């Protein structure tokens, strides 16, 4: 049932080009619109939304952080993102037209479900992004966007995450097009990028041998840092979570510009730093931050686009990624970071599919 792969996690990493394509099926029209027939929203309702709360846990929360940036850019609606275990006890403020977006692969996460119920009790409309048709979250939400990733068996989330990103890009474009676009050029860029995404995800799987070689040294370390700015910061958070979860190497993700406010004290000779540099408008800033950690003798692996001519002289090692729109970069960057976590965990002899202390579906709070 592992289809020739050593672990479910590796199989699911390799299923991503197909999973992403399945999430997109029927949802991109020929005239470049995001089509979500399951929503079928009235114009007045869509135009009335004045606030969005995104609520989720773990990896799904990171998807929500990406979702916030694209939703704000395309709709100009203020978006808050919060982990469900905090949100549900915080007495959040709802306007009469607040939309609550919950994201849950399993659709059974206790805190996310409780947040959904609280939001409904307070009169908010709830949209769920989930992978499981008929799950509790799917049944209780007002609207449901299914990710169609197929069953995810490994505890560490991989294809569920990349397909959540796709669902959120589609939803942001759908809502923006319905309301009258604030930024048609970016919508076009995102929709065109989505069409090419299965191909880009397939190409980035070719980084597996390089990530395996890197992981063999890396697996002996006890601590690592992931840095980036903007969407790269979100990708860093997800990369660090995946690494901790299955390799048990301590990892911290930092907004690259925040390093000098404390964390730089922990950067010493040989400390591995994974630096993400896919956001063109922030590239030079990130390069400066890489130089800061290099000055303290960190060992830097940088991830940047193919064609980059500067990074090789700045970082110790560079991994080149097939170029996509920077808006879609989190979906591409996720893959080598999943592979890094996977190969480090294998190298350390860990139970990759069932990491210690963790369950696939967290139905207790």
Taking a C-beta distance cutoff of 8 angstroms, is the pair 143, 116 a contact? no
- Binding status of residue 163 toward ligand F6R by CB under 6 A: no
- The torsion angles phi and psi of 70, rounded to 5 degrees, stand at -75, -35
**Site residue total, ligand F6R (CB under 6 A):** 16
Strand extents, DSSP E, the chain? 51-56, 79-83, 98-104, 125-130, 143-146, 223-228, 250-255, 272-276, 299-305, 317-321
- Comparing CB distances to ligand F6R, the nearer of 58 and 336 is 58
Strands 143-146 and 272-276: unpaired
Alpha carbon dihedral 54, 139, 175, 18, in 10-degree steps, equals 90
Q: Is 157 in the site for ligand F6R (CB under 6 A)?
A: yes
The window from 57-65, 118-126, 247-255, 312-320 that contacts ligand F6R (CB under 6 A) reads 57-65
CB 97 → ligand F6R: shortest distance, Å?
A: 26
Q: Which of residues 297-316 bind ligand F6R (CB under 6 A)?
A: none
Min dist CB 172 to ligand F6R, Å, is: 19
Task: Provide the token pair at 40.
Answer: 């079928």
Nearest approach, Cβ of residue 38 and ligand F6R (Å)? 19
Among 23, 55, 58, 226, which residue sits at the site for ligand F6R (rule: CB under 6 A)?
58
Q: What angle do CA 290, 293, 298 make, to 5 degrees?
A: 115
> What are the two backbone dihedrals, phi and then psi, of residue 253, each rounded to the nearest 5 degrees?
-105, 135
State in angstroms the smallest separation of the CB of 226 from ligand F6R.
15
Cross-strand bridge partners of residue 299: 272
Question: For residues 124 and 156, which CB has a smaller minimum distance to ligand F6R in the complex?
Answer: 156
Phi, psi of 80 (to 5 degrees): -110, 145
Which residue number places its CB atom closest to ligand F6R? 58
Provide, rounded to whole angstroms, the least separation between the CB of residue 316 and ligand F6R: 28
Q: Phi/psi class of residue 106: alpha, beta or left (left: φ > 0; alpha: ψ in -120 to 50)?
A: alpha
Task: Return the residue of 16, 23, 75, 112 that touches ligand F6R, per CB under 6 A.
Answer: 112
Single out the residue of 14, 338, 8, 32 nearest to residue 201, CA to CA. 14
Residue 104 interacts with ligand F6R (CB under 6 A)? yes
Among residues 9, 13, 39, 57, which is the contact residue for ligand F6R, using CB under 6 A?
57
- Is the Cα torsion angle 205, 210, 213, 218 positive or negative in sign? negative
Give whichever of 242 and 299 is closer to ligand F6R, judged by the CB atom. Answer: 242
135 binds ligand F6R (CB under 6 A): no
Q: Which H helix or E strand runs over 60?
A: helix 58-75
End-to-end CA distance of the chain: 32
Residue from 75, 85, 105, 136 touching ligand F6R (CB under 6 A): that is: 105
Interacting residues with ligand F6R between 240 and 259 (CB under 6 A): 241-242, 245
Q: What binding mask, one character per residue, do residues 59-88 give for ligand F6R by CB under 6 A, x or -?
A: xx----------------------------
Contact window for ligand F6R (CB under 6 A) among 24-32, 99-107, 197-205, 249-257:
99-107
Per CB under 6 A, 353 contacts ligand F6R: no
Instruction: List residues near ligand F6R by CB under 6 A.
Output: 57-60, 104-106, 109, 112, 156-157, 241-242, 245, 361-362
């Amino acid at each position: 049932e592992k289809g020739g792969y050593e672990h479910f996690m590796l199989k699911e990493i390799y299923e991503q080009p197909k999973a992403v394509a399945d999430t997109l099926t029927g949802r991109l029209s020929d005239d470049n619109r995001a089509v979500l027939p399951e929503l079928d929203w009235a114009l007045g309702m869509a135009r009335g939304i004045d606030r969005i709360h995104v609520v989720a846990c773990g990896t799904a929360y990171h998807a929500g952080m990406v979702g916030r940036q694209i939703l704000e850019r395309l709709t100009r609606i203020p978006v808050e993102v919060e982990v469900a275990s905090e949100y549900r006890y915080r007495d959040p403020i709802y306007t009469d037209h607040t939309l609550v977006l919950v994201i849950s692969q399993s659709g059974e996460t206790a805190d996310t479900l409780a947040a959904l119920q609280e939001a409904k009790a307070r009169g908010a409309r709830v949209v769920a992004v989930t992978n499981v048709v008929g799950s509790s979250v799917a049944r209780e939400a007002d609207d449901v966007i299914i990710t169609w990733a197929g069953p995810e068996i490994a505890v560490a989330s991989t294809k569920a995450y990349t397909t959540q990103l796709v669902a959120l890009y589609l939803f942001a474009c759908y809502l923006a097009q319905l309301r009258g676009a604030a930024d048609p050029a970016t919508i076009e860029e995102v929709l065109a990028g989505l069409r090419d995404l299965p191909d880009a995800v397939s190409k980035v799987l070719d980084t597996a041998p390089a990530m395996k070689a890197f992981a063999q040294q890396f697996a002996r370390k006890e601590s690592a840092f992931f840095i980036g700015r903007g969407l790269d910061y979100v990708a860093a958070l997800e990369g660090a979570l995946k690494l901790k979860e299955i390799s048990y190497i301590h990892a911290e993700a930092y907004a690259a510009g925040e390093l000098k406010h404390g964390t730089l004290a922990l950067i010493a000779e040989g400390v591995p730093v994974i630096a993400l540099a896919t956001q063109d408008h922030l590239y030079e800033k990130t390069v400066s931050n890489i130089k800061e950690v290099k000055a303290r003798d960190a060992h830097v692996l940088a991830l940047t686009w193919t064609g980059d001519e500067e990074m090789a002289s700045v970082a110790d090692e560079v991994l080149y990624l097939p170029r996509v729109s920077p808006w879609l970069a989190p979906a591409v960057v996720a893959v080598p970071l999943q592979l890094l976590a996977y190969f480090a965990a294998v190298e350390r002899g860990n139970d990759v599919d069932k990491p210690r202390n963790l369950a696939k579906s967290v139905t207790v709070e």
